[in-house]
Amino acid sequence: MSDILEIAAAQAQARQPLRPAVAKAAELARNAEERARTKQHAKHKNTARERLDLLFDTGTFEEIGRFRGGNINDGNAGAAVITGFGEVYGRKVAVYAQDFSVKGGTLGAEEGRKICHLMDMALDLKIPIVAIVDSGGARIQEGVAALNQYGEIFRRTCRASGFVPQISLILGPCAGGAVYCPALTDFIIMTRENSNMFVTGPDVVKAATGETISMDELGGGEVHSTVSGVAHYLADGESDAIDYARTVLAYLPSNAGQKPPVYAYAPTRAERDVAKRLAGIVPDNDRQPYDMLDVIRCITDYGEFVQVHELFGASSIVGFACMEGKPVGIVANQPAVNAGILDVDASEKVARFVRLCDAFNLPIVTLVDTPGYKPGSDQEHAGIIRRGAKVIYAYANAQVPMITVTLRKAFGGAYIVMGSKSIGADMNFAWPNSQIAVLGAAGAVNIIHRHDLNKAKAAGQDVDALRAKYVDEYEKSTVNANLALELGAIDAMIDPEQTRESIVNSLKLLANKTHVRHTEKHHGNQPQ
């Protein structure tokens, strides 16, 4: 039997002998990865190929242009970027991963051409694009030739925006003009260590302004996740970052022309018990805080919720969940942080997420409990007008199914912008004790009955008792949701435990809602 196998092997080799060039290329690739491991592991970082192994389903990665830009005879393994395709939960995804072990991961003309070729293929195939960034920036030795490639990448990233999902994983340095590659994508994921983004580095900052600052203080993962809002997720390490990217992709379709994936869901007895918990989460006192995440976990499949921008604009919450196996985007106020008020950061956070959901056909579920926009000169000077207008622009232009539930209070402009019927929501519900008005009762009474209260004080009457009387009257006549019901701004008053059922039924009703082009304009001009 062994003789037969040896003869067969010899015949196979005779038909297609192993060419020395192929063997040399394979050896060159092995040596390059070994060098990469030595360099990257010393910095507690994975190699570009190890990162790809974490990103893709096992055995699905198909590389393109492996030796492009290299010289096999001279021992050059290729460009400082790896490009190819793989599968994430069985769906095809395009990726480019910068290899810091090769010329510091810098981008030269060949690297740029490889990335652009991959992006062109991804657009033709209509599949998501993931960028794994770990680079020293433009290759100085190549000058303007390298800079031109950034322009080519920017143009393709903009072309892909809203058409296919784009995710950037920042797993090393990203500086200078290179930061705008990830800035144009849908998600930026950074790690607590080794992850940096800045337009000008610490040395340039010191030379220009005299300020001494570290890389992490200037543009580390924590800064961009909590202060600037550049990063959408702060990971504990590379594995966590890549796992988050996989999770996000699981909720999104491959492109804007498809519906999101649908997952199996089997209701259980626990579902009804969980729904009953809603009645006890929100306090009767409208000034008492509670955690909106407790509400969200009671209405989503298995209580699962994937937050986006968790550490930024914390008075609002946005993220992904499923309702009977169908992905949705959830937008909510967070009463546990500044009473759920809308400020400049929360406004931009909400607006960007609503636009994302609308681009990729995810229904939007809005949970409202907010006293309004945050007052103060700091907010006015920070641009609450223009930045708050982004929420209006996002909701008013969204054409996916939109369901809104008012839990406790919705006052003033914040009521209008947070998925109200008048701004475009399809179905609006309110809990029995919810309050909807221009102002809260106490604030409204102080304005409407200012003269009456002053007269009572001058006459020596009990002003507090009189104010309480006016507040009670105002709440009965104006602040409760009855007026909104009568005007058709609320479709139904529901008990808290009916919340999930009402949302699910609404999603079924709106399942075939389609996008409609109302005008012949090229595009709108979003508030700056």
Could you give the residue numbers annotated as active site?
176-177, 413-414
Give me 204's structure tokens. Answer: 């340039």
Q: Is 209 helix (H, G, I), strand (E, B) or coil?
A: helix
Give me 138's structure tokens. Answer: 């433009």
Residue type, 24: K
**Quick check: 106 and 136 in contact, CB under 8 A?**
yes
524 burial level (CB within 10 Å; 0-12, 13-18, 19+)? exposed
Distances (CA, A) of 157 to 122, 162, 180, 423: 11, 10, 10, 30
Alpha-carbon dihedral 444, 391, 423, 430, rounded to 10 degrees: -60
Q: For the chain, how far is it from start to end, CA to CA, in angstroms?
A: 76
d(CA 215, CA 107): 21
Residue type, 71: N
Distances (CA, A) of 140 to 108, 143, 147, 414: 8, 5, 9, 49
Question: Which residues, at least 6 apart from 235, have a Cβ–Cβ distance to it below 8 Å?
Answer: 189, 190, 191, 192, 221, 241, 244
Question: Which residues, at least 6 apart from 163, have a Cβ–Cβ distance to it below 8 Å?
Answer: 123, 126, 255, 256
**Quick check: 171 and 221 in contact, CB under 8 A?**
no
**Quick check: 206 and 162 in contact, CB under 8 A?**
no
**Quick check: 261 and 327 in contact, CB under 8 A?**
yes
**Quick check: 453 and 467 in contact, CB under 8 A?**
yes
- Nearest-5° angle of CA 385, CA 391, CA 393? 95
20 burial level (CB within 10 Å; 0-12, 13-18, 19+)? exposed
d(CA 469, CA 3): 104
Distances (CA, A) of 364 to 162, 239, 489: 16, 29, 18
The 8-class DSSP code of residue 3 comes to: H
**Quick check: 300 and 326 in contact, CB under 8 A?**
no
Helix ranges (H only) for 215-290 are 215-219, 221-226, 238-251, 270-277
Helix ranges (H only) for 228-315 are 238-251, 270-277, 292-299
Task: Please tell me the number of Cα atoms within 13 Å of 387 on its side-chain side.
Answer: 18
